[in-house]
Amino acid sequence: MIPSKENMELANLVGDWLKNEVAPVCGEYDEKNEFPEKLYEQMTELGLNIMCTPEEYGGLDLSAVAQTLIAEQLGRYEVGLGSAVGANASATHLMNQFGSPEQKKIFFDILVNGGWAAFCLTEPNAGCDAGAGKTTAVREGDEYVLNGRKCFITNGGIASFYCVTAMTDKTKGVKGMSMFFVEKGTPGLSTGKEENKMGIRTSNTCDVVLEDVRIPASNLIGEEGKGFNIAMQTLDQARTWMGCVATGIAQRGINEAIAYGKERVQFGKPIIKNQALKFKVADMEIKTETARQMVAHALTKMDLGLPYTKESAIAKCYASDIAMEVASEAIQMFGGYGYSREYPVEKLLRDAKIFQIFEGTNEVQRIVISNSVIGK
């Protein structure tokens, strides 16, 4: 599916902003582990927090393929920002697909007025095993009372709005999980300290704590007991986004390796003239382009409304593995300089690693893929 001219113009605008405004300063934010508030304000001005919000609510309503153009650009220039936009998009897709008209109006009004959202699934003892979550939601009259702790939540400390899974019936396992939305400022809602991460250090990641948080019963998204299914469908979308960003990391690795290879002279000629490095670049390009096409296939099925659970798992798993491999090969081509923080490729490796863990580890993705092919 081909993005419209307007979508392409926005993607190019975002690309120019990332190249000219973000790339020169992201290393400093990474080094200081400082939250780049100014960059988030600029992302909001560009509309990256409403790119999948429906037009009827004031959003940009970009197609899935158009969103990938932006996701890959974010992956090339600043992965932490790509993670933040992706987490916001996950909550947006969730609400757009499963929310009531009244819930959508509240949610999208917040986003259109500059807010960001977070998707709260992971818990201290429930990572890949999402069904082991301990957060509870107890119905009391016209309210639910939520108690629990979510961890590693992207946008946790900056969100205006949270989509939260909680157990409404612990005796039913995953069939007792429900989905709720909670607005920032609700009494009992708080956040923990920001994680000091290996990579994606321009994103905000922290715990989200719920202590006797009372919300209207109308904040239940969908029906009781449907929360796990909603979360899994949200992860399908999120995994495809992560595959896009990971492809961008790999492409940046190729670009940096080629540029350095043309400049670095050894034995009287640029090192890129050596056949061994030419073949290395060729392999990096083959794998990166393959990842890009896998992502495109998953997104096309998503845009057509076809099942794409297997395809999203393949795209995320393969693209993230390739991002790690290409980033490592780029460092190898730089030699000792690649190991120095004065050059950008070491940051690519640190940023890439989380994509093998995000939204279900790559081991979990292989379980999803094998179950789809073989059957459970």
> Residues 230, 232, 235, 237: what is their CA dihedral angle, to the nearest 10 degrees?
-70
- What would the pLDDT profile of 266-294 be if each residue is shown by its tens digit? 999 999 999 999 999 999 999 999 999 99
Say if residue 105 is in the same domain as residue 19. yes
Across 200-266, the runs of DSSP E, i.e. the strands, are 205-216, 220-221, 265-266
pLDDT reading at 130 higher than 90: no
Say if residue 367 is in the same domain as residue 234. yes
The token pair at 13 is 């605008």
* Backbone φ and ψ of 81, nearest 5°: -65, -35
Burial-class residue 279 by CB neighbours within 10 Å (0-12, 13-18, 19+): exposed
Percent of the chain residues past pLDDT 90, beyond the cut: 89
Say if residue 130 is in the same domain as residue 75. no
- What would the pLDDT profile of 320-373 be if each residue is shown by its tens digit? 999 999 999 999 999 999 999 999 999 999 999 999 999 999 999 999 999 999
Say if residue 89 is in the same domain as residue 140. no
Question: pLDDT averaged over the chain?
Answer: 95
Instruction: Out of 225, 257, 275, pick the residue that ends a domain.
Output: 225
Say if residue 148 is in the same domain as residue 31. no
CB 247 within 8 A of CB 319: yes
Say if residue 257 is in the same domain as residue 352. yes
pLDDT reading at 1 higher than 70: no
Please tell me the total count of domains within the chain.
Answer: 3
pLDDT reading at 25 higher than 90: yes
Contacts of 243 (CB under 8 A, 6+ apart): 291, 294, 295, 298, 312, 315, 316, 318, 319, 320
162 beta partners:
118, 182
Mean pLDDT of 8-29: 92
| Choice among 72, 195, 329, 359 that is catalytic | 359
206 beta partners:
153, 194
Which residues constitute the domain of residue 98?
Answer: 5-112
Least confident of 125-129, 156-160, 313-317: 125-129
Say if residue 179 is in the same domain as residue 286. no
- What would the pLDDT profile of 162-221 be if each residue is shown by its tens digit? 999 999 999 999 999 999 999 999 999 999 989 999 999 999 999 999 999 999 999 999
Mean pLDDT of 116-121: 97
The dihedral through the CA atoms of 321, 327, 328, 329 has a sign that is: positive
Instruction: Out of 201, 225, 249, pick the residue that ends a domain.
Output: 225
- Kind and range of the H or E element at 119? strand 117-120
- Kind and range of the H or E element at 182? strand 177-183
Give the CATH number of the domain where residue 283 resides: 1.20.140.10
Which candidate, 130, 111, 131, 146, places its Cα nearest to that of 217?
146
Which candidate, 327, 310, 350, 319, places its Cα nearest to that of 244?
319
Say if residue 90 is in the same domain as residue 128. no
Least confident of 121-135, 152-166, 270-284, 302-316: 121-135
Amino acid at 256: E
pLDDT reading at 126 higher than 90: no
Quote the CA–CA distance of 188 and 211 in Å, as a whole number: 5
Instruction: Out of 202, 225, 248, pick the residue that ends a domain.
Output: 225
Active site (annotated) includes residue 359: yes
Quote the CA–CA distance of 71 and 6 in Å, as a whole number: 16
SS3 24: helix
Say if residue 235 is in the same domain as residue 362. yes
